[in-house]
Structure 1
Amino acid sequence: MAELAGLTALELLDGYRRGALSPVEATRAALQAIEERDGAVNAFVAVDAEQALEAAAASERRWRAGEPLGPGDGVPTSVKDVFHTRGWPTLRGTRLIDAERRWDEDAPCVARLRETGAVLLGKTTTPEFAWKGVTDSARHGSTGNPWDPSLTPGGSSGGSAAAVGLGMGPWSVGTDGGGSVRIPAAFTGTVALKPTYGLVPLYPASPFGTLAHAGPMARTVADAALLLDVVTGFDSRDWSALPTPTRSFLDGLDDGVSGLRIAFSPTLGFGRNDPAIERLVRAAAERFRDLGAVVEEVDPGIEDPVEAFHVLWFAGAAKVLEGYGPDARERIDPGLRRGIEELGEASAAAFLDATAVRVALGVALGRFHEAYDLLLTPTLPIPAFARGRDTPVGWPSPHWTSWTPYTYPFNMTQQPAVSVPCGFTEDGLPAGLQVVGPRHADRTVLRAARAYERAVDWGTRRPARPEAQHPRPGVPDAGSTPAGVPAGAPSASRGRTP
């Protein structure tokens, strides 16, 4: 079962096609991995084993008849608990939402997963309203990193990254409004793509507006490309949805990077990196030269847009609370409340000024990509830090954006960006390389990430069973957890129908 849980989606599908593997076996392996491993990391808020096995049995019958529904039929999959899912509550990590209300509609990506025959296992953890770069909430507790459960997996799609990293289903779908699929991918040694805005439709609309993307999370670039095939597709409920792609994102994926013009910017001109991260990302950029790309170290000539991002981000956060009553602020994550009070009550003029900064950033990076096909950066400047904290111990800022300077700029510009593993620190913690392209260059971004992935073995490494690990000396324990957030708290619905 452990070996089966370690297979990629493409390996499973090949086995189904040949009759060598069964969707029921694969689903049982994923459920067993959840049973054995999720207690250490708290990746799931709910698991529906009965429904998953029923879906797997239906998939098995289709494969035996030679009539799979689509390219993802029978793949065990999870979805972040911000996507509406018919029959399951969508609680978004908050106590403000009533689980007993009617849940009778699928978000576009969930509908596409059902249409392809994917086996939905359950829903994964998120911080409250997916507002920050780590994963903890008063409702569901904190989530741990597969490589060391005393550390954070990042966020806000941290539950999805932990699930994928530990073989609890090879696919998950997350959201990314400021780095929320790429941050946990970097911290967990997995792969995640923030596609061009609108390629994966969103409904209901995110409170963070056009900063928010939905994207695939997987253990390999090829799996992420196939999942992107599944979850794209025009949906009339999203007014900004792009047309359905006309060919698979697997087409040309292995064509390599020879001749591509690639810029390497280790800091974007304003960041600072942990020495281990700097070393690993520089080595990754050098590998692209070995693969035939023309690589130049150059900054894109932009300033840190964090102040404008804060205005847009926390204005959205303030708006989402309006429907929960006048005392809603008193019942949410204290960090979210602080951010709204400090940064979320901007005037209309300030909001328009922030939008103007965003437009100028998009123009600058659009011009930059006239000279360069791709841009390489670290995904993050630091490795994973203590679980249950918004920032590392002793960090000079309380804001999660202060340690994610390379992710949120590309939400403002809506460009595609993928995080792919690029090595491990001396402490055995993963690092991520970010590959960014101009808008609509998702195929080129995936092709470059795939070329790098095939040239190294970082993505093949897997964490040990998390229950066999122990906090490293000097790493703060659950005592660092914010008030009201029980580190490692079990999911209330694990093992039961949500």
Structure 2
Amino acid sequence: MPEARAAAGPPHLSASELIAGYRRRTISPVEATQAALDVIEQYDDQVNAFVLVDAEGALAAAKESEARWHSGEPLGPGDGVPTSIKDALWTRGWPTLRGSTMIDEAGPWDEDAPSVARLRETGAVILGKTTTPEYSWKGVTDSSKYGVTRNPWDLATTPGGSSGGSAAAVALGMGAWSVGTDGGGSVRIPAAFTGTVALKPTYGVIPLYPPSAFGTLSHAGPMTRTVRDAAVLLDVITGYDARDWSAMPTPATSFTSGLDDGIVGVRIAFSSDLGFVDNDPEVDALVRAAVQQLAAAGAEVIEVDPGFADPVDAFHILWWSGAAKVLEAYQVDDRVDPGLRRVADLGTAYSASDFLDATSTRMELGQLMGRFHQQYDVLVTPTLPIPAFPVGQDVPDGSASPDWTSWTPYTYPFNLTQQPALSVPCGFTRTGLPVGLQIVAARHADSLTLRVGQAYQAATDWHRRTPTLEAR
């Protein structure tokens, strides 16, 4: 099993550290990009994080960035930062196959998703595309198209999903930034399993195009090693885009504004189990220790549950219906993920009345959480109740359910409510597997979510630990 080490050297510098180095000319975008490409070459055969790597194009972009920095004219706050994109987001000139054999690789691929377009505008160096399960439908990352993605902390375990390739890449130093998607926890689940940081922002903050078959459950989100990097990346990939009918206006202020203001007096509601979850004892202990650290930083912590029952049935109706919509356009064969076929079959049986009932449950949950946040600034929970489990399976050993939602009870409720939810690493189990802490705020309070996460990281060093693999 890989041992934790303190992050050091170009592959493990944060984007903020890279930008500072570019400005001082102590490191160049070419050096940073080559370092990330070297890590990909050394270790990707073990973790399978990438479906496409464009080394030549990345180095050419890095040279252009280097010239801009030398002339004192960077394009933006991400100029020269090595970045990857989950293979669920369109990338001009590259296929977006979503882990599926059903999509025609020929394209045409002539348009960027909004977040990818914003990254190009800031001069980010896009290294390639990362793995996802077929159509990002589940909480682990494997597909018949690209195989199994593994957790760099223990190759026998899953990195989670569906943005598992992005999380594994960021954890190992295969680029400082990645952009993933999250319809039920898909950036936060792998962040918790890989010791990285991920934010599902308020719905609409990051525009999405083309729209997801899973509707307004689906968000895009930054995946990084530090909260500060998540805030900077969020600045880059937000902004109104007319292709997304639900996109919010471009934020008036930076998400880094007030990031270091601390949390003295912030009212934190700590729910260890949401009232209906059983946690692994090690997870519970590490999360409680993290909450104590937040209290030591000056927050007012109150242990209280929000007061809602598990909304999984409503989520299933919405999510399984989306899976049915995905498959209806294709000739489905045996190469399609059998779990996706199973839930799509369930989705075809739902009526319009079922869908509206689920939407009503969703609205009631959103109303409850809106009132809850009038009393408490943020809600803190575990990101997941368990550490990573064996690779190649959708659920842990001994699970009574075949559904990935059975082990992700802390994540999907906040896709229903569209609230910002941040996962930060908060420790390791005795066997060396990372554990995540989830910080949830009211809709549109993304900056507060980040500020609480930053206060935690300012007092801890879990985010500085990286896995060590032996190159083959």
**TM-score w.r.t. length of structure 1:** 0.92
The counterpart of 1:170, out of the listed 149, 155, 176, is 176
In the alignment, the residues of structure 2 paired with residue 224 and residue 168 of structure 1 have an alpha-carbon distance, to the nearest angstrom, of 16
Greater shift, 359-368 or 329-338, is seen at 329-338
The answer on 1:433 being equivalent to 2:437 is yes
The answer on 1:291 being equivalent to 2:291 is no
Greater shift, 283-292 or 81-90, is seen at 283-292
Aligned-pair distance for 1:330?
Answer: 4.5
Partner of 1:36: 42
Q: Flag as ranges the 4+ runs of structure 1 deviating above 3 A.
A: none
* Contact 2:144–2:335 under 8 Å retained in 1: no
Q: Tell me, what secondary structure is at the counterpart of 1:462?
A: strand
Q: Tell me, what secondary structure is at the counterpart of 2:458?
A: helix
The answer on 1:137 being equivalent to 2:146 is no
The answer on 1:311 being equivalent to 2:317 is yes
1:110-121 matches, within 5 Å, as 110-121=116-127
The answer on 1:368 being equivalent to 2:372 is yes
2:303 maps to amino acid: E
2:337 maps to amino acid: D
The answer on 1:383 being equivalent to 2:387 is yes
Partner of 1:445: 449
Partner of 1:464: 468
1:368 maps to amino acid: F
1:78-157 matches, within 5 Å, as 78-157=84-163
Greater shift, 453-462 or 114-123, is seen at 453-462
1:3-402 matches, within 5 Å, as 3-325=9-331, 328=332, 330-402=334-406
Alpha-carbon displacement from aligned partner over 1:183-237 (angstroms, at most 9, x marks no partner): 0000000000000000000000011100000000000000111000000000000
* Contact 1:133–1:179 under 8 Å retained in 2: yes
Aligned-pair distance for 1:345?
Answer: 2.7
Aligned length: 466
Alpha-carbon displacement from aligned partner over 1:388-420 (angstroms, at most 9, x marks no partner): 110111111110000000000000000000000
Aligned-pair distance for 1:331?
Answer: 3.9
In the alignment, the residues of structure 1 paired with residue 347 and residue 267 of structure 2 have an alpha-carbon distance, to the nearest angstrom, of 39
1:407-418 matches, within 5 Å, as 407-418=411-422
1:275 maps to amino acid: P
2:368 maps to amino acid: A
* Contact 1:86–1:106 under 8 Å retained in 2: yes
In the alignment, the residues of structure 1 paired with residue 470 and residue 347 of structure 2 have an alpha-carbon distance, to the nearest angstrom, of 38
Change (3 A) 1:376 1:2: closer
In the alignment, the residues of structure 2 paired with residue 101 and residue 236 of structure 1 have an alpha-carbon distance, to the nearest angstrom, of 23
Greater shift, 1-10 or 394-403, is seen at 1-10
In the alignment, the residues of structure 2 paired with residue 126 and residue 344 of structure 1 have an alpha-carbon distance, to the nearest angstrom, of 24
Q: Tell me, what secondary structure is at the counterpart of 1:324?
A: coil
* Contact 2:324–2:347 under 8 Å retained in 1: no
Give the unaligned 5+ runs of structure 1: 469-498
In the alignment, the residues of structure 2 paired with residue 128 and residue 265 of structure 1 have an alpha-carbon distance, to the nearest angstrom, of 33
Aligned-pair distance for 1:155?
Answer: 0.1
In the alignment, the residues of structure 1 paired with residue 470 and residue 216 of structure 2 have an alpha-carbon distance, to the nearest angstrom, of 37
In the alignment, the residues of structure 2 paired with residue 306 and residue 466 of structure 1 have an alpha-carbon distance, to the nearest angstrom, of 41
**TM-score w.r.t. length of structure 2:** 0.97
Aligned-pair distance for 1:466?
Answer: 5.3
Q: Tell me, what secondary structure is at the counterpart of 2:367?
A: helix
Aligned-pair distance for 1:111?
Answer: 0.1
* Contact 2:29–2:80 under 8 Å retained in 1: yes
Alpha-carbon displacement from aligned partner over 1:344-396 (angstroms, at most 9, x marks no partner): 43000000000000000001111111110000000000000011110111111
Give the unaligned 5+ runs of structure 2: 1-6
2:379 maps to amino acid: L
In the alignment, the residues of structure 1 paired with residue 294 and residue 229 of structure 2 have an alpha-carbon distance, to the nearest angstrom, of 21
Alpha-carbon displacement from aligned partner over 1:323-358 (angstroms, at most 9, x marks no partner): 223xx2654100111112234430000000000000
* Contact 1:194–1:213 under 8 Å retained in 2: yes
Identity %: 67
